[in-house]
């Protein structure tokens, strides 16, 4: 994810609306072996109460204070957990899954912990850029094979994508998991994708073990998803039907924040724009009137966008750079390129913002007489966190791992947002210990992503997601809630 400076919040941090403890207590135990429907099927007259959608509500309710010298190690005030304090004081502390299933999943992950730590450090110490993650591809696919999965290397026509699956019994649902692998130019794993990588591996192997031990029919499919940083690997995989068979999909992402916290908040929708001005070269002193200055066009566009920014809503972001070839001070530049990213809280606001930004590019072309070409890659959508999955994850990590869960969003973006539009999905943003002002995409975060403390935080989240994923496979009623939450969100986003 690419991160941004702080945005002032216009909403008070608070609880997830509709979070209903009593309803959670009423849920039946999920230890029954699943005998009902798989994804896509409908369920008789079951009425699922579903909480108000929270994280993917269409606007950033509040954003994580970023930078500003916040010392997360000592700042325990914000943001609050969205579970009421009494939740931790009564018997709701007991999770819904059968105790033996929990024991199986936790014991498996405790056993895998040293191996996952080694893998994480290997990936951390061999940073690879988008679509060049060959080392990570190889060691992760070897790991999955060693743990009894059927592995497809170089999946879906992408050199560094991979897929691994395991099926127990017949029928049942399909749990999807994602592992990211790519790093950033010059600063290595400054987005902590080495932690995301092992989180996915851990979820998949732990759920496989629980399916076998407790004889629950179902399938686990994990995708190694390359090229998250700016090139949308998951969007390509979506286009190539890699997610088609999944009933839900899970992953998690590290970031700064209060120690022991995680967020089910949303992220921005984002659109990359590649703009090229073509002008006419001329001697800058002898005959400047013969030239058409592409650099001028780029500078005018840049300035126009800077002026536009002050009339934009505070949760929008527009940022970019200017580049050129063979520029010299005594020649009118005949070429200039700009790369911009426009971000907004949701797809609709993004579309509106894009029109205004395009106007700046066109205006600069008109004023300089240059030609302009605007190319756009597929957009990253905002995260539509599934509220049922989010509540279940929260219940698990709050009750068992002393974590807090909030709904504070981020102005950063992820290609997993597109996945959340297609199927019920969850992408918690969890905190790892960071230096002051050392958030994602800084060298300090690279260091943080390699620490033992970051690994410990990752393993807690991995356990919470594995428990959540297993419940999707083992509990028909819960899966109905997940589906209902997805449908409710579809309506919510259609109304935007």
Of 185-193, 292-300, 342-350, 358-366, which segment contacts Zn ion by CB under 5 A?
185-193
If one asks whether residue 130 binds Zn ion (CB under 5 A), the answer comes out as no
- Of 81 and 272, which has the nearer Cβ to Zn ion? 272
- Of 191 and 342, which has the nearer Cβ to Zn ion? 191
Of 186-194, 256-264, 379-387, 465-473, which segment contacts Zn ion by CB under 5 A?
186-194
- Of 191 and 316, which has the nearer Cβ to Zn ion? 191
Q: Least distance in Å: CB of 281 to Zn ion?
A: 38
- Of 25 and 321, which has the nearer Cβ to Zn ion? 321
Q: Least distance in Å: CB of 230 to Zn ion?
A: 8
Residue sitting closest to Zn ion (CB): 191
If one asks whether residue 1 binds Zn ion (CB under 5 A), the answer comes out as yes
Q: Least distance in Å: CB of 204 to Zn ion?
A: 20
Give φ, ψ of 339 to 5 degrees: -115, 125
- Of 130 and 174, which has the nearer Cβ to Zn ion? 130
- Of 263 and 368, which has the nearer Cβ to Zn ion? 263
CA angle 379, 384, 385 (to 5 degrees): 140
Interface with Zn ion (CB under 5 A), residue total 2
Q: Least distance in Å: CB of 59 to Zn ion?
A: 22
DSSP at 440: T
User: Which residues, including other chains, have CB under 8 Å from residue 89's CB and lie 6 or more apart?
Assistant: none
Helix axes 99-125, 452-474, angle to 10 degrees: 140
Distance from C-alpha of 458 to C-alpha of 448, rounded to nearest angstrom: 12
Do residues 410 and 64 lie in contact, with contact meaning Cβ atoms separated by under 8 Å? yes
Distance from C-alpha of 199 to C-alpha of 251, rounded to nearest angstrom: 7
If one asks whether residue 181 binds Zn ion (CB under 5 A), the answer comes out as no
Q: Least distance in Å: CB of 192 to Zn ion?
A: 7
Distance from C-alpha of 84 to C-alpha of 96, rounded to nearest angstrom: 18
Of 1-9, 25-33, 217-225, 364-372, which segment contacts Zn ion by CB under 5 A?
1-9
- Of 102 and 431, which has the nearer Cβ to Zn ion? 431
E-only strand ranges, 354-394:
371-376
Q: Least distance in Å: CB of 18 to Zn ion?
A: 30
Q: Least distance in Å: CB of 440 to Zn ion?
A: 5
Do residues 437 and 5 lie in contact, with contact meaning Cβ atoms separated by under 8 Å? no
Distance from C-alpha of 81 to C-alpha of 64, rounded to nearest angstrom: 14
- Of 205 and 412, which has the nearer Cβ to Zn ion? 412
Sort residue 67 into left (φ over 0), alpha (ψ -120 to 50) or beta.
Answer: left
Q: Least distance in Å: CB of 136 to Zn ion?
A: 14
**317-323 and 253-255: which strand pairing?**
unpaired
Options 183, 191, 242, 252; binder of Zn ion; rule CB under 5 A: 191
Distance from C-alpha of 330 to C-alpha of 283, rounded to nearest angstrom: 6
**429-431 and 371-376: which strand pairing?**
unpaired
Distance from C-alpha of 456 to C-alpha of 447, rounded to nearest angstrom: 15
Q: Least distance in Å: CB of 348 to Zn ion?
A: 24
Helix axes 452-474, 476-494, angle to 10 degrees: 100
Distance from C-alpha of 229 to C-alpha of 125, rounded to nearest angstrom: 18
- Of 92 and 237, which has the nearer Cβ to Zn ion? 237
Give the binding site for Zn ion (CB under 5 A). Answer: 1, 191
């Amino acid at each position: 994810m690419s991160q941004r400076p702080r945005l002032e919040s216009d909403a008070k941090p608070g609880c997830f609306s509709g979070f209903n403890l009593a309803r959670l207590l009423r849920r039946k135990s999920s230890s029954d072996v699943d005998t009902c429907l798989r994804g896509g099927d409908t369920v008789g007259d079951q009425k699922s109460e579903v909480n108000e959608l929270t994280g993917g509500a269409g606007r950033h309710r509040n954003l994580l204070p970023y930078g500003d010298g916040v010392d997360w190690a000592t700042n325990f005030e914000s943001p609050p957990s969205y579970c009421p304090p009494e939740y931790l004081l009564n018997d709701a502390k007991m999770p819904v899954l059968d105790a033996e299933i929990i024991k199986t999943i936790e014991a498996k992950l405790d056993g895998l912990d040293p191996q996952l730590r080694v893998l994480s450090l290997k990936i951390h110490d061999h940073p690879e850029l988008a679509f060049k993650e060959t080392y990570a591809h190889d060691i992760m696919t070897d790991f999955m094979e060693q743990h009894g999965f059927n592995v497809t290397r170089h999946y879906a026509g992408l050199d560094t994508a991979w897929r691994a699956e395991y099926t127990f019994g017949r029928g049942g649902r399909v749990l999807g998991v994602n592992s990211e692998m790519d790093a950033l130019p010059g600063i290595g794993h400054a987005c902590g994708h080495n932690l995301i990588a092992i989180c996915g591996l851990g979820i998949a192997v732990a759920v496989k073990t629980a399916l076998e031990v407790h004889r629950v029919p179902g399938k686990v499919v994990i995708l190694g998803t390359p090229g998250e940083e700016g090139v949308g690997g998951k969007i390509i995989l979506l286009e190539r039907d890699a997610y088609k068979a999944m009933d839900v999909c899970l992953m998690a992402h590290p970031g700064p924040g209060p120690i022991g916290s995680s967020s089910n908040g949303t992220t921005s929708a984002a659109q990359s724009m590649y703009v090229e001005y073509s002008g006419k070269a001329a001697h800058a002193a002898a005959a400047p009137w013969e030239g058409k200055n592409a650099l001028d066009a780029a500078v005018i566009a840049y300035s126009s966008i800077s002026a536009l920014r002050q009339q934009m809503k505070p949760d929008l972001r527009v940022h970019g750079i200017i580049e050129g070839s063979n520029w010299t001070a005594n020649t009118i530049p005949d070429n200039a390129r700009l790369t911009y990213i426009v971000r907004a809280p949701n797809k609709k606001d993004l579309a509106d913002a894009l029109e205004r930004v395009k106007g700046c590019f066109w205006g600069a072309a008109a004023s300089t007489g240059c030609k302009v070409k605007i190319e756009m890659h597929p957009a990253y959508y905002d995260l539509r966190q599934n509220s049922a999955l989010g509540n279940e994850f929260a219940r698990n990590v709050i009750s068992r791992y002393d974590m807090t869960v909030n709904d504070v969003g981020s102005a950063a973006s992820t290609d997993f947002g597109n996945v959340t539009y297609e199927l019920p999905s969850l992408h918690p943003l969890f905190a790892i210990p960071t230096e002051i002002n050392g958030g994602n995409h800084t060298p300090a975060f690279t260091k943080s992503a390699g620490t033992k403390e970051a690994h410990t935080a990752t393993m807690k989240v991995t356990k919470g997601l594995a428990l959540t994923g297993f419940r999707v496979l083992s509990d028909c009623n819960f899966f109905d809630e997940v589906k209902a939450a997805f449908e409710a969100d579809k309506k919510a986003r259609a109304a935007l």
